[in-house]
Amino acid sequence: MKTVSLFALIATLTLSGISAWGESVKGVVKDAAGSPLRGVMVSAIDLALEKSVSVLSAADGTFTIDGLASKAYDIRARFIGLEDNTLPGITAGASNATSLALNMEPVADINLQRPADNLLGLLKFDTIADKENFKMFCTYCHQVGTLGFRSPEEPIDWKTMVTRMDGFGGLFKHTQDSIVGRLHAAYSDEAIANWPSYAGPPDPEDVVLSSRITEWDLGRQENSTVHDIELGPDGKIYAVDMSNDSVLVLDPETGERTEHIIPGGIQEDASNVRKGPHSIEADAKGDMWLTLALSGEMAKFDITTKEFSIMSGAPSPATRGRYPHTLRVDKKGYIWFTDAGREVCRLSPNPPYEVKEYKLPSADQAVGGGRGESRGRTPYGIDVAPDGMIWYTKLNGNRVGRINPDIEDGDIKEWNPPFRGPRRLHVAPDGIVWVPGWGSGVIGRFDPKIEEWRIYEMPNTINRLPYAVNIHPRTGKIWVCGTGSDTMIVLDPETGHFTPYRMPSRVTFTREIEIDEDGNIWTCNSNGPIRHSERGKGSIIKLETNR
């Protein structure tokens, strides 16, 4: 085990008899004319703990951030269209921390605040199919159009970057020939000078004003990919760092972070084959299972002993899988995972860790007259339904499939959805399958009993990038990763209405959603490369929707 950092602050406060998290800061946010501002995000930033706690100002401009330690914070107000205003060194609980005044001026350059869903809209294509094709092969890991993305300065630099990124060769040939010119026309300095005006996103809805967001930075500066997270039974949050072959653990109560190096990974020896931990899920005992995408292996992390067990991600006699991707654990303890370069597999949780591979149908065997298959199949998202059925997606193959684990060959059936890019799906308690349509910017509802789809178009549909969904166990509402818009989004399936919750940090690229026993939403920021993000670090984010 490698300890990244411990925080003596907690011990000091405890020993001195001071309540560690019982203080608050309060105040009001106003515009340049002295009128109160509604919906401004106000953050108490703890630089030492690399943590922030954020709330939104009420209709009268007032705000309260409670649950803070008796120590100094930077208090920042943020709203698109206005300049950030930060009051440094405010001690929570002090007499002057209960009447803060945050006055905000109009922003000098709103282009620096534009979120990526707006910026992606500036990149022009001749057809919707061309736009979807670009989204399917050039937006998987990072936001498009943000300042870090725009770092290439000349057409030759764009050509180098695009050639490196289009490793699958999946862009249409005519797009390959024209994309450098399109990028330069959208994001060069000359183009920025002529960008159309931008008024900012819609103001937050009333229901959003009661939310609270806590964010902990995690990983190495400008060198981390905090890809997926899992909630541990010990109250800690477990994450995989794909760039550094490690498991990161956050204790949200104390802020302590620890890093556990995967044996044989790049941190043990720079000449090793990268492990590339990608997905993480807990079994019934609370131990964590990982897909090791780059080495084609699977791993188990014992949260008590802190020891790893590593095994092949392919059935014998193969020594490795191609790209183990996303995993889930069923009620019998089997680990089901997609291999993005092969099929869907089932791993026995006990030695000798046997792997069974399920051969998936070919393109002509799918049901439905939806959108066609692109280059490569890419088994991707996976979930275990309440009835034990295994559901999965083919991201590029454009399929949603079902495996019956009680039948030897799986009795596999696939459907072709009426949208592009099914990604990380989730099955609701009532058996309805919810699927994010990455390429098309929609959410799909599939009823397997009648084999029918209902499609929910997200606002600004073609520039949306819904990566993953989860179903809230209490409300039944569908939570969606607002991956390209610095938001988390909730869909009311009864009304079709989408409600965005803005994240406190710019360039927040989310890939997964977890929901704890109290109904709080958890996700992580894993833009790749992470240098594009506001502070150059990954993060773990907790969203409380009704405090």
Q: Does position 29 have pLDDT exceeding 90, yes or no? A: yes
Residues 406 and 493 in one domain: yes
How much is the pLDDT for 56?
98
Instruction: Indicate the pairing of strand 442-447 with strand 433-437.
Output: antiparallel
pLDDT digits (tens, 9 = 90+) for 485-524: 999 999 999 999 999 999 999 999 999 999 999 999 999 9
Q: Does position 85 have pLDDT exceeding 80, yes or no? A: yes
User: In this structure, what CATH number is given to the domain that contains residue 503?
Assistant: 2.130.10.10
What is the extent of the structural domain holding 177?
A: 111-192
Residue 62 inside a domain? The answer is: yes
Q: Which residues contact 317 (CB under 8 A, 6 or more apart)?
A: none
How much is the pLDDT for 374?
58
Residues 178 and 226 in one domain: no
CB-CB contact of 451 with 415 (8 Å): yes
Q: Does position 6 have pLDDT exceeding 70, yes or no? A: no
Q: Does position 47 have pLDDT exceeding 60, yes or no? A: yes
In this prediction, residues 356-383 reach a mean pLDDT of 82
In whole angstroms, give the CA distance from residue 139 to residue 158: 15
CB-CB contact of 252 with 238 (8 Å): no
In this prediction, residues 430-443 reach a mean pLDDT of 98
SS3 string of 375-416? CCCCEEEEEECCCCCEEEEECCCCEEEEECCCCCCCCCEEEC
- Show the tokens assigned to 75: 């208090």
In terms of pLDDT, which residue wins out, 8 or 75? Answer: 75
Range in 13-22, 104-113, 311-320 the model is least confident about: 13-22
Helix residue ranges per DSSP H, 72-172: 116-120, 128-138, 155-165
How much is the pLDDT for 18?
40
Q: Does position 41 have pLDDT exceeding 70, yes or no? A: yes
Residues 218 and 130 in one domain: no
Residues 98 and 129 in one domain: no
Residues 146 and 276 in one domain: no
Q: Which residue, 35, 36, 48, 52, is CA-closest to 86?
A: 52
Q: Does position 59 have pLDDT exceeding 70, yes or no? A: yes
- Show the tokens assigned to 244: 């550094």
In this prediction, residues 467-489 reach a mean pLDDT of 97
Residue 240 inside a domain? The answer is: yes
Range in 8-22, 142-156, 269-283, 391-405 the model is least confident about: 8-22
Residues 349 and 381 in one domain: yes
Residue after which a domain boundary falls, among 46, 80, 108: 108
In this prediction, residues 122-143 reach a mean pLDDT of 95
Residues 80 and 124 in one domain: no
In this prediction, residues 434-446 reach a mean pLDDT of 98
Q: b vs e for 73-97, b when ≥16 Cβ sit within 10 Å of the residue's Cβ? A: bebbbbbbebeebebeebbbbeeeb
Residues 75 and 125 in one domain: no
3-state secondary structure at position 69 = coil
Residue after which a domain boundary falls, among 192, 225, 258: 192
pTM of the model: 0.94
pLDDT digits (tens, 9 = 90+) for 224-273: 999 999 999 999 999 999 999 999 999 999 999 999 999 999 999 989 98
Q: Does position 278 have pLDDT exceeding 50, yes or no? A: yes
In this prediction, residues 442-470 reach a mean pLDDT of 98
- Single-letter code of the amino acid located at 478: I
Residue after which a domain boundary falls, among 53, 82, 108: 108
Beta bridge partners, 216, equal 51, 540
User: In this structure, what CATH number is given to the domain that contains residue 62?
Assistant: 2.60.40.1120
Question: Own/partner pairs for 165-171, CB < 8 Å, 24+ apart?
Answer: 165/138, 166/137, 166/138, 168/137, 168/375, 168/376, 168/396, 169/375, 170/133, 170/136, 170/137, 170/374, 170/375, 170/376, 170/396, 171/133, 171/134, 171/137, 171/138
- Show the tokens assigned to 221: 């500066």
Residue 393 inside a domain? The answer is: yes
Question: Own/partner pairs for 196-202, CB < 8 Å, 24+ apart?
Answer: 196/122, 198/110, 198/111, 198/114, 198/118, 199/81, 200/80, 200/81, 200/110, 200/113, 201/80, 201/115, 201/118, 201/485, 201/500, 201/502
- Single-letter code of the amino acid located at 464: R
Neighbours of 229 (CB within 10 A): 24
In terms of pLDDT, which residue wins out, 265 or 156? Answer: 265
pLDDT digits (tens, 9 = 90+) for 384-411: 999 999 999 999 999 999 999 999 999 9
Percent of the chain with pLDDT over 70: 95
pLDDT bin (cut points 50, 70, 90) of residue 158 is: confident
Residue 312 inside a domain? The answer is: yes
Instruction: For Cα atoms 254, 260, 264, give the angle at the middle one, nearest 5 degrees.
Output: 170
If you write DSSP's letter for every residue of 151-166 in order, what string do you get? ---SHHHHHHHHHHH-
pLDDT bin (cut points 50, 70, 90) of residue 371 is: low
Residue 199 inside a domain? The answer is: no
Residues 297 and 404 in one domain: yes
In this prediction, residues 93-114 reach a mean pLDDT of 96
Q: Mean of the per-residue pLDDT values for the chain? A: 93
In terms of pLDDT, which residue wins out, 19 or 153? Answer: 153
Residue 209 inside a domain? The answer is: no
Residues 404 and 325 in one domain: yes
Please count the CA atoms within 13 angstroms of the CA of 508 that sit on its side-chain side.
Answer: 22
Residues 359 and 245 in one domain: yes
Residue 28 inside a domain? The answer is: yes
Residues 117 and 59 in one domain: no
What is the count of structural domains for the chain? 3
Residue with tokens 């299972």: 289
Helix axes 173-187, 128-138, angle to 10 degrees: 80
pLDDT digits (tens, 9 = 90+) for 160-188: 888 887 766 789 999 999 999 999 999 99
Torsion of CA 155, 161, 162, 163, to 10 degrees: 110
Sheet holding 379-384, edge to edge: 379-384, 390-394, 399-403, 413-415
pLDDT bin (cut points 50, 70, 90) of residue 377 is: confident
Residue 208 inside a domain? The answer is: no
In this prediction, residues 466-481 reach a mean pLDDT of 98
End-to-end CA distance of the chain: 37
CA 466 to chain centre: 10
pLDDT bin (cut points 50, 70, 90) of residue 375 is: low
SS3 string of 421-458? CECECEECCCCCEEEEECCCCEEEEEECCCCEEEEEEC
Q: Which residue, 307, 271, 314, is CA-closest to 292?
A: 314
CB-CB contact of 540 with 51 (8 Å): no
How much is the pLDDT for 12?
39
pLDDT digits (tens, 9 = 90+) for 310-331: 999 999 999 999 999 999 999 9
